[in-house]
A and B are shown apart, each in its own frame.
Chain A
């Protein structure tokens, strides 16, 4: 239990998370007090939707790299925010919506925390904030006595208001998410926002539309609708879970395979992982898209794979010690190996040019990806600073600075200077 609690609530590492957490908690508290004063309306709906939110929160799963998602909880909360007649005689007001969401979310997180599963209070608070936003927008656009009468004018107005509410919730969440990414990974804000909006357009929209279905169905059919909508929602969640787990398996496979160069003695333990860590930090700093980030990480991990086909390991895996031609040959072999998998063509392209000098490569040939330059710099820096060799970051930065424009891409070296300046350490 302690483990779960510390994972979910590690304040030191959260930064702006504290702000989000405080805002969410304050919002919930105010909403609960207001609701307690006025009294709940339509208990049965509150209980059913609350249960859905809690269950959705319990069965959350991890997608992307570090983020948990609870699509059922999000859809249920959005659905609860947009209820209207004829079934729901007294639609819940904004305070009640926020209160029910908050209580149900806490009820869903509790078993996870007790079981020691991964959970994230910040993500849940983000949902609370965006649901409050959706409830407010919907409340303004759709008067409380507007009901689903079967007339297309009413239906269209309600559907439009729902769309607006869902979109505003999505935009708020994307803004907060982009802020967090900027803070955590030092991504430029516009790039982070673009990535968040892309994600919102896919998973977010599906969750929002499911919320709309849930709300419209419940308003028309009463409490028959939630179980009805939940079945297809579960199917969707199931599909996503499988996708997420296949993705994780694939990532660990690539990581494990990258370690084969260490087991074979071509590189020192952890060398690939360190190179990849730095390359990812550089990629974040330069604001690469998520798919390019992924290719970059794989390329950094796999950059040494070509050595497997060479006869003897060089001592300590110091590939900087060997001639550039030899390294380029290894890179070429590695690229052709990676290409053979048929799934990582872009990665192969990055690896192929990862040992070209800037002057002969990137500066002349615009087809060579920027990522090759990143991997090149990351490899060099790791060689200088990584375990065993142990130069100081400043000294290494200095010697890499000497190769700027000739050996290394100036853009990447500038980025490295920023990343190191912010205190990046292996």
Chain B
């Protein structure tokens, strides 16, 4: 309750400040050709906003406002910055729209103040004092970034829920700031090209490179999405071999993702871990269907065929330029902490980190899913089994972290599975801890027989 009042207070304060700034800006603004042209461009950008996405818009704001500092002065730049906030995502509530608008006005003004008081050159002076233009605009740009981040942090700390200010700073503000500083220089170039006599034609010179790099980035995103979707589709095909393991790989990927976020992995390793979780059983495609679907216990040679699946998996994904950790995780996800696993019989910390993580989530998802020979276990019951098997099967530290994550965020267990059928002695899951040597594991997890 208290927080909401504070939040409202912040919004009212920023809005008032923004209105005052706008008044000043309007009084001091020069309405000249660059202001009108770039203002219209900003307006066009706002109309296109829903199509091009938030980050693109931000970089457009930067380029235009910083060019205007140099071309027409701070007042015009602030006014045009305000134009940029006119149209926003329709789904946002009004409060958010007002705050976003106020925020962009305040940021542009803060940057403008720095630009003004450090003696930033305006108009033809830019061409005579290039170094002054470079460092004052960069200072203004940096101020803008800091003020923007500060305002967002205030709001995020008052608004409960994701993301927290720390996460925002680490994941969003810091990684994007170098490129935004770079785009600021593009604004300076726009001003220079304008002053060269090209006038509004300079816009074309600036926006074609900007557009191409955007195109490349969007293609990058598209390729990444395509890859994720393609891997999921393949995993689904491989899982068609066994009705009961359907969705297993995707749930494991989800689970290791949750655990990875808890462990604070870097972005690259986080996505590598999720890939490894998705692909850990991909080698099952090399295990004859007759063994996977076999009823009852497996004999030794059949078990050997199953034990080959991690190596098969690595063989399959070996050429894909993943991080090495993905491959080692796929190879070793059936190792156990006490050294009784396969294929290498590694123990303790010798088991690759990702493999230890996947081992836990793999077992967890298996136990919480229905198998033909037993019903699904409850989440709490399964967590108790995991805790019992710390040291024998799993890395104790990771088990604690995982139990913590699941208790906090909950778990979406497998759904839509056929009910267990007592009359049929059916396929046995190699991941299943609750079975003896015929299945996947031995130990205290071999539940009530």
Contacts and interface: CB of A to CB of B under 8 A. Distances in A.
Interface of A: 148-156, 159, 202-203, 205-206, 209-210, 212-213, 216-217, 220-222, 224-225, 228-229, 231-236, 239-240, 242-243, 245-250, 252-257, 259-260, 263-265, 305, 308-309, 311-312, 337-338, 340-344
B323 to A, nearest CB: 11
20 contacts: A150-B196, A212-B205, A216-B192, A216-B205, A217-B189, A217-B193, A220-B192, A224-B134, A225-B192, A228-B185, A232-B185, A235-B182, A239-B216, A256-B317, A263-B285, A308-B285, A309-B237, A309-B240, A337-B233, A337-B236
A256 B237 contact: no
B316 A259 contact: yes
B216 A154 contact: no
Nearest to B59: A235
A368 B398 CA distance: 53
A264 B315 CA distance: 12
B190 to A, nearest CB: 10
Contact of A305 (B131, B208, B232, B237): B237
A45 to B, nearest CB: 15
Q: Place the interface of chain B in its size category.
A: 35 or more
B130 A222 contact: yes
B227 interface: yes
Nearest to A333: B237
A263 B230 CA distance: 18
Contacts of A159: 198, 201
B177 interface: no
Nearest to B293: A311
A236 B131 contact: no
A263 B232 contact: no
B41 to A, nearest CB: 17
Interface in B75-99: none
Contact of B224 (A152, A155, A217, A246): A246
B179 interface: yes
Interface in B193-211: 193, 195-199, 201, 204-206, 208-210
Contacts of B182: 231-232, 234-235
Interface string B52-72: 000000000000000000000
A233 B196 contact: no
A304 B227 CA distance: 19
A235 B189 CA distance: 15
B193 A213 contact: yes
B28 to A, nearest CB: 26
A254 B237 contact: no
B150 to A, nearest CB: 25
Contacts of B24: none
A250 B197 CA distance: 46
A222 B127 CA distance: 9
Contacts of B318: 256
Contacts of A221: 127, 130, 192
A245 B285 contact: no
Contacts of A305: 234, 237
